[in-house]
Amino acid sequence: MKTGAVNRGVQVLLDNLMLVAITVIPAYLIYNLVYLPLYATQLRKVRGPKLFAMTKWRLALADRQGTRTRLIHSLHEKYGTAVRIGPNEVSFSSLSALRSIYGAGSGFERTDFYRMFDVYGRQNLFTFAEAKHHAERKKLLAHAYSKSVILSPNAMAKPLVEKNVNSYLELLDREKELAQEIFHSLHWFSLDSITGFLYGDQYGGTHALRGNLDDRTLLNDIVDPNRRMLSWYAIHLKNYTKWLYTRTGMTEKIITALRLLPMKKPATYTGIRAHGLQSWNDFETAVTEKQPDQDLSIMEKLWRHSQSGKGTPLGGLDMASELADHFLAGIDTTSDTAMFAVWALSRPEHRKYQEKLINEVDNIPATDCNKDGNPTVEASSKLPYLDAVLKETLRLYAPLPASEPRSLPTDTTIDGHLIPAGTVVSMSPYTLHRNPDVFPDPLKFNPERWLGQCGDLVEMKKWFWAFSSGGRMCIGLQ
């Protein structure tokens, strides 16, 4: 009898637990996935697909498929200039929103998304969230990237670029097949240029254009699809990725065996990051014996500042992180822009643009050419048709076309929409540059739109956003 009573009691308890589970779990899901995101927030008034408002994973799926930017653009075409693309994220595409979010003194700061770009465990110009820290670091670096400094007689950038242009042309003469496959050769050009500018030839400058195989393999960081997939994990499964990468012993072996991450955990920094750290270490060792006579490279300028005692002290890894960030940022952006420009000009329907550009370059006087017979940096910077080609390339094929997320710690209003504190807001060059009211026939490659031959040139410049804007504007645009 007692056993039977106990069994019945257990059965009743299990039945009640099952009833609770059947009732509570759906209620919990409905409350969190339907009621809160669709009815209990001010963002409910912002138009957009319901599924996007309910979960972040719809957009994360598009990110994994490589369609995120195009998908958001299509949503703007359907819903207008303000679209809710996540439970806590809104995308905008108006000029007024651009000024509100990214204008100087707007108060909007970068989100935690950018922390995945920390290098060697240190923040840098790209990852600082607070405007104060960013402004202090930018003040230290921006002057070195200014056009006046780059073109000054004693600067290293001008002879470095002219030398690498000549090396690139010699490479194409020497290896004819590279004229047909320009991905690698243009990346070698940008690699040699950015490392020379940052580290100087003595400590970290590469020679990929001259055939150095070790330097050429640094590009594996860029082309490795597993490393790109790791970025997806770091963005959308941040805590999971961090936990997996900090496991040791048997747990680490199990994680590796089950392939729970898209690539093995490196024992140390690899590729570009390893090269950057080694370059810094070599320099730091050398300056303990003999200080540099002049500040030619960015590395030397940073080190000189660290010795001056001015501003916030910079440790060795702080400087190494800053340099590596510029290193990583400068390779793809430079080479991709050049690659798309060459590709666009090579298309049969764009032959007239190619011929006009060739004619402009051919008419550069010999007095504006260097000893190798190529146009100088100064002469190249004054070519209006070349400038138009580059602007149109950056408009249609921006090297960083995706959203640039920001947030504000207080409630605000953007384009008439009340945006609660902590909401992520973003805009993208891809969508801004395809506004047909500003750029007639926006999908057509037409450099001459920048020569005032169609559309409103003043208005187009307001919408041109290849380098961002405000205090966070890219310092390397020159």
Question: Any idea what the CATH number is for the domain that residue 183 is in?
Answer: 1.10.630.10
Q: How confident is the model at residue 266 (pLDDT cuts 50, 70, 90)?
A: low
Antiparallel, parallel or unpaired: β 89-92 and 406-407? unpaired
User: Total structural domains in the chain?
Assistant: 1
Cα dihedral value 142, 145, 148, 153, nearest 10 = 130
Which among 149, 119, 279, 291 has a CA at the least distance from the CA of 206?
A: 279
Q: Considering the domain boundaries, does residue 68 fall inside one?
A: no
Q: How far apart are CA 142 and CA 134, in angstroms?
A: 11
Domain extent at residue 156: 116-472
Residue 11 has pLDDT above 80, yes or no: no
357 token code pair: 């550009």
Q: Considering the domain boundaries, does residue 220 fall inside one?
A: yes
Residue 6 has pLDDT above 70, yes or no: no
474 is in an annotated binding site: yes
Per-residue DSSP letter, 166: H
How confident is the model at residue 477, as a pLDDT? 83
CA torsion sign, 141 to 146 to 151 to 154? negative
Q: Considering the domain boundaries, does residue 274 fall inside one?
A: yes
Separation of CA 295 from chain center: 28
Residue 303 φ then ψ, to 5°: -65, -45
What residues contact residue 461 under an 8 Å CB cut-off, 6+ apart? none
Top pLDDT among 210 and 223 is at 210
Identify the weakest region by mean pLDDT among 199-208, 259-268, 300-309.
Answer: 259-268
Q: How far apart are CA 345 and CA 393, in angstroms?
A: 10
pTM of the model: 0.91
Q: Considering the domain boundaries, does residue 61 fall inside one?
A: no
Top pLDDT among 7 and 48 is at 48
Task: Please give the average per-residue pLDDT across 42-70, as a whole number.
Answer: 96
Top pLDDT among 90 and 135 is at 90
Q: Considering the domain boundaries, does residue 64 fall inside one?
A: no
What residues contact residue 340 under an 8 Å CB cut-off, 6+ apart? 393, 396, 397
Task: Please give the average per-residue pLDDT across 58-76, as a whole number.
Answer: 97
pLDDT tens-digit series, residues 323-365: 999 999 999 999 999 999 999 999 999 999 999 999 999 999 9
Q: How far apart are CA 210 and CA 168, in angstroms?
A: 9
How confident is the model at residue 226, as a pLDDT? 76
Q: Considering the domain boundaries, does residue 409 fall inside one?
A: yes
Q: Considering the domain boundaries, does residue 159 fall inside one?
A: yes
Residue 35 has pLDDT above 80, yes or no: no
Q: Considering the domain boundaries, does residue 107 fall inside one?
A: no
Which among 158, 164, 151 has a CA at the least distance from the CA of 193?
A: 164
How confident is the model at residue 295, as a pLDDT? 61
